[in-house]
Amino acid sequence: MPVISMFYGVVVSLFFLDNKQHHLPHVHARYQDDEAVFAIPDGQILEGALPPGKIRLVQAWIEIHREDLMADWSLAVQGQPVFRIDPLK
């Protein structure tokens, strides 16, 4: 699972060919021992949990980078390498 961004202790990854389980464009975010799956279109949590402050950071990052995330999603479902996306600053 390639890491596409890291910020404030959160590691965001995108699985290659990972559209069967969640059926929506999504990213996986890890913080310490917690992990959550976020939908790219609206930033909602599809599965898992993170601390509330980290959830807001990931959702803000998704909002800012939605276009880049959708481009990476298109590459990933075709089995192509994805690009890194700038962290939240």
pLDDT band at 24 (very low <50, low <70, confident <90, very high): confident
Instruction: Report the mean per-residue pLDDT for the chain.
Output: 91
Tens digits of residue pLDDT in 27-68: 999 999 999 999 999 999 999 999 999 999 999 999 999 999
Q: Classify 82 in phi/psi space as left (phi over 0), alpha (psi -120 to 50) or beta.
A: beta
Q: Which residues of 26-59 are buried (b: 16+ CB within 10 A; e: fewer)?
A: bbbbbbeeeebbbbbeebebeeeebeeebbebbb
- pTM summary value: 0.91
Residue whose C-alpha is closest to residue 14's, from 32, 31, 28:
28
H or E stretch including 60? helix 52-77
Residue 22 pLDDT greater than 90, yes or no: no
